[in-house]
Amino acid sequence: MNVPGELLYSKDHEWVQLTGTIARIGITDFAQDALGDVVFVQAPTLGASVTSGDSISEVESTKSVSDIYAPVTGVVSAVNVALDTDPSLINSDPYGQGWICDIEVAANFDAAHLLSASAYSEFVAG
């Protein structure tokens, strides 16, 4: 299982890459592996205000449909349109080309509820 050390993680199996006030969001390698072959991704609504813990998207695989939850509070500032034509990018490159959206984080953003790579690895193992 690939768990890049520079990212933060939610207990709902999303990853977060913080760059200034922008949080790039995707699902973890563990999550994409559990889902199986991803066949459709419902993109979050561009410009939507989201609250940490809210469902913002759905990923459909050959096994099931799963909600994607916002790991941060803010406004959706970008969506990965490449997933419209190639949703399998989530399987082949979950931490790169398979990202789902960018969220401009709220001014009062606190990352305390997010997990480090080692804490996330322990979470999925236990």
* pLDDT tens, position by position, 69-91: 999 999 999 999 999 999 999 99
pLDDT at residue number 63: 87
What is the rounded CA–CA span in Å between residue 20 and residue 36?
33
At 53, the pLDDT band (50, 70, 90 cuts) reads very high
Fold for 8-107, please state it. Answer: OB fold (Dihydrolipoamide Acetyltransferase, E2P) (2.40.50)
pLDDT band with cut points at 50, 70 and 90 for residue 101: very high
pTM of the shown model: 0.93
Tokens read off for 56? 């913002």
| Residue among 80, 59, 64, 61 nearest 17 (CA) | 80
Those residues whose C-beta lies under 8 Å from the C-beta of residue 2, and which sit 6 or more positions away, are 29, 94, 95
Q: What percent of the chain lies above the pLDDT cut of 90?
A: 89
Domain locations along the chain: 8-107
- How far apart are the C-alpha atoms of 107 and 97, rounded to whole Å? 27
